[in-house]
Structure 1
Amino acid sequence: MRRYTSLLLTSFLLLLIVVTGSAYLAGAGHDKERRPMQEFTVYTTLPAEHVSILTAAYEKQHGVRVNFVPLSSDNILSRLKEQATGDNNGACAMVLADRETLMKAASAGVLVPYLSQAGDQVASDFREENGYWVGVWYDPIVFCVNKDYLKTQAQIPDTWMELAQKKHVRIGVTDFLAADASANLLISMIAQYGDAAAYDIWRQIHPKVVQYARYLSNPVRQAGMGEVDISIAVESETIRYMQDGYPLQVVYPADGTAAMVTGTAIAFKAGEKDAVAAKEFADWLLTDDAQLALQEQGFYFVPTNPGTLAYKSFAGKNMILFNQPGLFSTEQKHDFLDRWVKEIRFK
């Protein structure tokens, strides 16, 4: 009888331990769920579809939430200035934006330098020498050539002047007034060649343009469908269509081309904890993990970090980019585009 009583008591104690332990673990799990996730704010000029991919991948891998706030370049600068003067202290930890916005922010004194081993690998052309901003990827303009047209030609133009002088060719391009990347091409060519030479190139190209597209993807689709022979297009869209099986080939302009560079910077007066998290995120954007997250969703940019596998896989990683910065005022850019409209587009 005593033995049975002892066994019952032992069983009861074991059951009590199991129930108590389960309750503790369940409670601990709920506490973990209730514990607020670390998060910080990033101002960005990127499209929502890009930043949603990045924040989802980073949160999954690191358990940190990145709150992106899409803004225009001017709004980013004004908010950073408010934060720097104390009116909006700690609101933003980092900026992920185009190079021109970052350069203006650095000149305005609203950024703090950040140097890291990952950022130090980036070529000097893609970063500010004192660490105020670092490029993470870029998207160059290329010649997107239909492969059937390619077979009929002894030589394909690989410079802007050769393309301008090429006879009997149908060209696709996105309207300069429709997309920043397209407008950046004209502005960059003016900075590189001077306005007279740049406009002369486009005067010769204009009669061969089948249609000025509204979106960056349209000229690539036109080339892939054989509606044009050569498109002047961003490489990211060209590679995306090639991955989908369209008969296209990329030709990199041998005399240089424009590119939209995207980079990171740490905001002045960011909170201490947020600044640490932002720096870790900035380094992550220079890794293969970030590129893989984008590529899995069909976005193919050229990484600036030569140590990544993604960088080594790009055939055009050694392409020539225009080296004259187009640091024109907003008014000057408007005038350049207005002149193109009046003298070329609708003349």
Structure 2
Amino acid sequence: MKRVCIGMMVLAMILPAAAFAGGRSETRERLVVYSSVDEENAKKILDAFTADTGIEVSFVHLSTGPALARMTAEASNPQADVWMGAPNENHITAKERGLTVSYTSEVTLALDPVFRDPDGYWTSFYMNPMGVGVNTSALAREGLGMPSSWQDLLDPQYRRQIQMPSPATSGTAYNVITSLTMEWGEEKTFEYLKALSPNIQTYTSSGTAPAAAVAVGEAPVGLQFTPAFFQAADEGFPVEVIFPSEGVGFEAPAVSILKGSRNIEAAQKLVDWLVSVDGQNVLTRERTYFYPVNPAAELGPGMPSFDSLRTISVDPEWAGAERQRLVERWEDEVLPLN
């Protein structure tokens, strides 16, 4: 009898503790994120979010195409809460497919309208301007001058000295076409691209490959979005970043909440945190070399303010609708000249 009483007392002590622990586990906030931000930077950003909020995050890295395909396949039974990364025109595609839901707050509505969907379906949380990276040692070795404009890149001195991505495989290069089309019109843009083609050393399949070639001097000049150029300079490579005087396009990767999210409140907190000053400062503190979209956030060393750049805005809906036609025109008219 004594043993039974003691056992019942121990059980009475254990059960409430177990129930409390179980309840705490059930109410702990969690998120599953599909990330089209590169794995290294996604981990930096999401680890900082967890540290600030206590919300646990697991993420799967998927490039843009596979992410859209997976979310579409899982539409009737979503396996993630948030899609983070990929240029905003891809989030427009997700919106049109009914894969995401609208969310706005005081934090998101305070952003420049170019960085948010008017209906709240996506919010850009960083931007990257297009830039020309130059290896100053390679320029000196080849006896080349420093370019300062798009027109400078047509100079015969740069024949086979420039690397840029292929629009057929890279959204980075497609941004060159769309931004210059916004500025000059389609016909003048294609005349420019045809004149530039003989100066291209190689059209890379990856949007970030030119920066690697410029850093080691394989190519004196490269064209792509700027983070990898700024990183190379920060790491001691003889790289400078030039913003062509006629203006540059930019990408504005976004975040969307997936329809059917099982953790909607935590997803909303992630969206708000990403564009808050605290979240935006993580981009600089963790050396992502991304430009914040919140003007109150800090900038990394050597990065001129967004306001100081002459930027060219592109209508993301137009860019998405025209992609196939413009890329096919580039393949037919420009690529054969290289």
For the criterion TM > 0.5, the same-fold answer is yes
SS of the residue 1:266 aligns to: strand
Q: CA deviation at 1:325?
A: 1.7
SS of the residue 2:213 aligns to: helix
SS of the residue 2:317 aligns to: coil
Q: Which residue number in structure 2 is paired with residue 346 of structure 1?
A: 336
Q: What does 1:16-27 align with in structure 2 at a 5 Å threshold?
A: none
2:306 matched to 1:317? yes
Return the TM-score normalized by structure 2: 0.77
One-letter amino acid of the structure 1 residue matched with residue 242 of structure 2: V
Q: Which residue number in structure 2 is paired with residue 175 of structure 1?
A: 166
SS of the residue 1:96 aligns to: strand
2:299 and 2:110 mapped to 1: Cα distance? 14
Q: Which residue number in structure 1 is paired with residue 202 of structure 2?
A: 211
- 1:206–1:331 distance in 2 versus 1, CA, 3 Å: same
Q: Deviations over 1:209-243 (max 9, x none)?
A: 22333444432233333443322122100001011
Q: CA deviation at 1:292?
A: 5.5
2:198 and 2:176 mapped to 1: Cα distance? 18
- 1:147–1:267 distance in 2 versus 1, CA, 3 Å: same
Contact residue 174 and residue 214 of structure 1 kept, 8 A: yes
One-letter amino acid of the structure 1 residue matched with residue 231 of structure 2: R
Return the TM-score normalized by structure 1: 0.75
Contact residue 92 and residue 317 of structure 2 kept, 8 A: no
Q: Which residue number in structure 2 is paired with residue 264 of structure 1?
A: 255
1:67 to 58, 63, 68: 58
2:320 and 2:118 mapped to 1: Cα distance? 25
2:229 matched to 1:235? no
Q: Which residue number in structure 1 is paired with residue 42 of structure 2?
A: 51
Q: Which residue number in structure 1 is paired with residue 3 of structure 2?
A: none
Equivalent pairs counted in the alignment come to 316
Q: Which residue number in structure 2 is paired with residue 334 of structure 1?
A: 324
Q: What does 1:152-167 align with in structure 2 at a 5 Å threshold?
A: 156-164=146-154, 166-167=155-156
One-letter amino acid of the structure 2 residue matched with residue 177 of structure 1: A
SS of the residue 1:309 aligns to: coil
1:332 and 1:223 mapped to 2: Cα distance? 31
One-letter amino acid of the structure 1 residue matched with residue 253 of structure 2: T
Contact residue 81 and residue 110 of structure 1 kept, 8 A: no
One-letter amino acid of the structure 2 residue matched with residue 125 of structure 1: V
One-letter amino acid of the structure 2 residue matched with residue 228 of structure 1: A
2:220 and 2:301 mapped to 1: Cα distance? 29
1:74 and 1:229 mapped to 2: Cα distance? 33
2:66 and 2:206 mapped to 1: Cα distance? 23
Q: Which residue number in structure 2 is paired with residue 94 of structure 1?
A: 82
1:77 and 1:228 mapped to 2: Cα distance? 35
Rg comparison, structure with higher value: 1
1:133 to 95, 119, 122: 122
Q: Deviations over 1:273-332 (max 9, x none)?
A: x22111111122124554555556652110101111238983141223222325358785
1:197 and 1:106 mapped to 2: Cα distance? 33
Q: Which residue number in structure 2 is paired with residue 146 of structure 1?
A: 135
2:292 and 2:323 mapped to 1: Cα distance? 28
Task: Supply the RMSD in Å over aligned alpha carbons.
Answer: 3.7
1:111 and 1:214 mapped to 2: Cα distance? 30
One-letter amino acid of the structure 2 residue matched with residue 324 of structure 1: V
The runs of 5 or more residues in structure 1 that have no matched partner are 1-19
Q: Which residue number in structure 2 is paired with residue 118 of structure 1?
A: 107
The runs of 5 or more residues in structure 2 that have no matched partner are 1-9
2:269 matched to 1:280? yes
One-letter amino acid of the structure 2 residue matched with residue 95 of structure 1: W
One-letter amino acid of the structure 2 residue matched with residue 103 of structure 1: I
Q: CA deviation at 1:106?
A: 3.6
2:144 and 2:213 mapped to 1: Cα distance? 22
1:209 and 1:92 mapped to 2: Cα distance? 41
One-letter amino acid of the structure 2 residue matched with residue 140 of structure 1: P
1:61 and 1:224 mapped to 2: Cα distance? 35
Q: CA deviation at 1:194?
A: 3.1
Q: Deviations over 1:65-102 (max 9, x none)?
A: 2233436458638846975xxx33x6543332320122
Percent identity (aligned): 19
